[in-house]
Structure 1
Amino acid sequence: MTTPVPTRFTDEELAMLDRLVNEGVADSRSAVIRLGLHELAESVQRARVGAIIAESYSQHPQTREDDELAMANAIAMTEAEPW
Protein backbone atom coordinates (compact mmCIF):
# COMPACT_ATOMS: atom_id res chain seq x y z
CA MET A 1 0.00 0.00 0.00
CA THR A 2 1.24 3.49 -0.76
CA THR A 3 0.27 6.79 0.80
CA PRO A 4 0.02 9.97 -1.26
CA VAL A 5 2.35 12.74 -0.10
CA PRO A 6 1.42 16.15 -1.46
CA THR A 7 4.58 17.86 -2.72
CA ARG A 8 5.21 20.97 -4.75
CA PHE A 9 7.78 21.05 -7.55
CA THR A 10 9.05 23.87 -9.69
CA ASP A 11 8.65 23.70 -13.46
CA GLU A 12 12.37 22.92 -13.70
CA GLU A 13 12.06 20.03 -11.24
CA LEU A 14 9.06 18.63 -13.13
CA ALA A 15 11.05 18.88 -16.35
CA MET A 16 13.87 16.88 -14.69
CA LEU A 17 11.37 14.25 -13.56
CA ASP A 18 9.87 14.02 -17.03
CA ARG A 19 13.32 13.81 -18.63
CA LEU A 20 14.24 10.90 -16.35
CA VAL A 21 10.99 9.12 -17.17
CA ASN A 22 11.54 9.71 -20.90
CA GLU A 23 15.09 8.35 -20.59
CA GLY A 24 13.68 5.17 -19.05
CA VAL A 25 15.14 5.65 -15.58
CA ALA A 26 11.72 4.79 -14.17
CA ASP A 27 8.18 4.32 -15.43
CA SER A 28 6.64 7.38 -13.80
CA ARG A 29 7.38 10.56 -11.90
CA SER A 30 6.47 8.79 -8.66
CA ALA A 31 8.85 5.95 -9.45
CA VAL A 32 11.66 8.43 -10.13
CA ILE A 33 11.00 10.14 -6.79
CA ARG A 34 10.94 6.79 -4.94
CA LEU A 35 14.18 5.78 -6.67
CA GLY A 36 15.76 9.08 -5.68
CA LEU A 37 14.67 8.58 -2.07
CA HIS A 38 16.23 5.12 -1.97
CA GLU A 39 19.45 6.41 -3.56
CA LEU A 40 19.63 9.26 -1.03
CA ALA A 41 19.00 6.94 1.92
CA GLU A 42 21.74 4.57 0.69
CA SER A 43 24.14 7.48 0.21
CA VAL A 44 23.49 8.77 3.72
CA GLN A 45 23.99 5.28 5.17
CA ARG A 46 27.27 4.82 3.27
CA ALA A 47 28.48 8.19 4.53
CA ARG A 48 27.64 7.20 8.11
CA VAL A 49 29.49 3.90 7.77
CA GLY A 50 32.45 5.68 6.19
CA ALA A 51 32.58 8.16 9.06
CA ILE A 52 32.50 5.31 11.58
CA ILE A 53 35.34 3.52 9.77
CA ALA A 54 37.41 6.71 9.54
CA GLU A 55 36.86 7.42 13.23
CA SER A 56 37.88 3.86 14.10
CA TYR A 57 41.12 4.22 12.13
CA SER A 58 41.86 7.54 13.83
CA GLN A 59 41.29 5.96 17.23
CA HIS A 60 43.25 2.79 16.37
CA PRO A 61 45.69 3.53 13.54
CA GLN A 62 47.22 0.67 11.61
CA THR A 63 50.62 -0.43 12.78
CA ARG A 64 53.58 -1.76 10.85
CA GLU A 65 52.66 -5.23 12.11
CA ASP A 66 49.13 -4.82 10.72
CA ASP A 67 50.59 -3.92 7.32
CA GLU A 68 52.93 -6.90 7.37
CA LEU A 69 50.09 -9.27 8.30
CA ALA A 70 47.85 -7.85 5.57
CA MET A 71 50.60 -8.28 2.98
CA ALA A 72 51.29 -11.86 4.12
CA ASN A 73 47.58 -12.68 3.85
CA ALA A 74 47.35 -11.10 0.39
CA ILE A 75 50.34 -13.11 -0.82
CA ALA A 76 48.94 -16.34 0.65
CA MET A 77 45.53 -15.79 -0.97
CA THR A 78 47.14 -15.00 -4.33
CA GLU A 79 49.35 -18.06 -4.19
CA ALA A 80 46.33 -20.22 -3.29
CA GLU A 81 44.53 -19.22 -6.52
CA PRO A 82 44.56 -21.85 -9.27
CA TRP A 83 45.56 -19.33 -11.95
Structure 2
Amino acid sequence: MSKQITVRLPDEIVEFIDRLVDDKLAPSRATVVARAMERERRRDLAAKDAAILAALSEHQGPDGARDDLDELASYAGSTPLTDLD
Protein backbone atom coordinates (compact mmCIF):
# COMPACT_ATOMS: atom_id res chain seq x y z
CA MET A 1 0.00 0.00 0.00
CA SER A 2 1.19 3.52 -0.62
CA LYS A 3 0.01 6.99 0.29
CA GLN A 4 0.33 10.16 -1.68
CA ILE A 5 1.91 13.06 0.19
CA THR A 6 2.91 16.58 -0.69
CA VAL A 7 6.39 17.80 0.14
CA ARG A 8 8.11 21.11 -0.43
CA LEU A 9 11.70 20.76 -1.67
CA PRO A 10 14.34 23.33 -2.61
CA ASP A 11 14.60 24.09 -6.33
CA GLU A 12 18.08 22.53 -6.56
CA ILE A 13 16.79 19.23 -5.22
CA VAL A 14 13.84 19.19 -7.62
CA GLU A 15 16.20 19.95 -10.53
CA PHE A 16 18.41 17.06 -9.45
CA ILE A 17 15.42 14.71 -9.23
CA ASP A 18 14.15 15.84 -12.63
CA ARG A 19 17.60 15.31 -14.14
CA LEU A 20 17.62 11.71 -12.85
CA VAL A 21 14.21 11.12 -14.43
CA ASP A 22 15.15 12.85 -17.69
CA ASP A 23 18.34 10.80 -17.92
CA LYS A 24 16.24 7.64 -17.41
CA LEU A 25 18.08 6.82 -14.18
CA ALA A 26 14.72 6.67 -12.40
CA PRO A 27 11.22 6.14 -13.77
CA SER A 28 9.62 8.93 -11.74
CA ARG A 29 10.10 11.63 -9.12
CA ALA A 30 8.30 9.40 -6.64
CA THR A 31 10.83 6.63 -7.23
CA VAL A 32 13.75 8.96 -6.54
CA VAL A 33 12.20 10.21 -3.31
CA ALA A 34 11.22 6.69 -2.21
CA ARG A 35 14.77 5.40 -2.83
CA ALA A 36 16.24 8.29 -0.85
CA MET A 37 13.87 7.68 2.04
CA GLU A 38 14.61 3.96 2.02
CA ARG A 39 18.35 4.74 2.14
CA GLU A 40 17.74 7.10 5.06
CA ARG A 41 15.65 4.46 6.85
CA ARG A 42 18.45 1.88 6.43
CA ARG A 43 21.03 4.43 7.64
CA ASP A 44 18.91 5.11 10.73
CA LEU A 45 18.58 1.38 11.47
CA ALA A 46 22.34 0.91 11.03
CA ALA A 47 23.03 3.79 13.43
CA LYS A 48 20.75 2.18 16.02
CA ASP A 49 22.51 -1.18 15.54
CA ALA A 50 25.90 0.52 15.93
CA ALA A 51 24.74 2.13 19.19
CA ILE A 52 23.62 -1.27 20.50
CA LEU A 53 26.97 -2.85 19.58
CA ALA A 54 28.87 0.05 21.16
CA ALA A 55 26.90 -0.40 24.38
CA LEU A 56 27.66 -4.13 24.35
CA SER A 57 31.36 -3.54 23.81
CA GLU A 58 31.44 -1.34 26.93
CA HIS A 59 30.66 -4.51 28.89
CA GLN A 60 33.57 -6.44 27.43
CA GLY A 61 36.99 -6.84 28.91
CA PRO A 62 40.15 -5.66 27.17
CA ASP A 63 40.50 -8.94 25.28
CA GLY A 64 36.91 -8.73 23.99
CA ALA A 65 35.52 -11.28 26.47
CA ARG A 66 32.23 -10.35 28.06
CA ASP A 67 32.57 -9.67 31.79
CA ASP A 68 29.32 -11.47 32.55
CA LEU A 69 30.78 -14.73 31.23
CA ASP A 70 33.89 -14.64 33.43
CA GLU A 71 32.24 -16.59 36.25
CA LEU A 72 30.94 -19.21 33.84
CA ALA A 73 34.41 -19.59 32.32
CA SER A 74 35.97 -20.01 35.76
CA TYR A 75 33.42 -22.66 36.72
CA ALA A 76 33.78 -24.52 33.43
CA GLY A 77 37.58 -24.38 33.72
CA SER A 78 37.53 -25.97 37.17
CA THR A 79 35.02 -28.69 36.32
CA PRO A 80 36.69 -32.04 35.64
CA LEU A 81 35.98 -33.64 32.30
CA THR A 82 34.23 -36.99 32.46
CA ASP A 83 34.36 -39.84 30.02
CA LEU A 84 31.41 -39.74 27.63
CA ASP A 85 31.45 -43.52 27.11
TM-score bracket relative to the smaller structure: 0.5 to 0.7
Bigger-Rg structure (1/2): 2
Count of residue pairs the alignment pairs up: 66
Q: Percent identity?
A: 24
Q: Which has the higher helix share?
A: 1
| Greater than 3 Å deviation, 4+ residue runs | 22-25
Structure 2 match to 1:34 = 34
Q: Please report the TM-score for the alignment, with normalisation by the length of structure 1.
A: 0.65
Point out where structure 1 has 5 or more consecutive residues left out of the alignment.
67-83
Q: Please report the TM-score for the alignment, with normalisation by the length of structure 2.
A: 0.64
Provide the aligned C-alpha RMSD in A: 2.3
Q: Which has the higher contact order (CA 8 A, sep 6+)?
A: 1
Point out where structure 2 has 5 or more consecutive residues left out of the alignment.
67-85
Deviations 1:19-75 (A, max 9, x none): 222344421110000001110000010111011111111122352779xxxxxxxxx
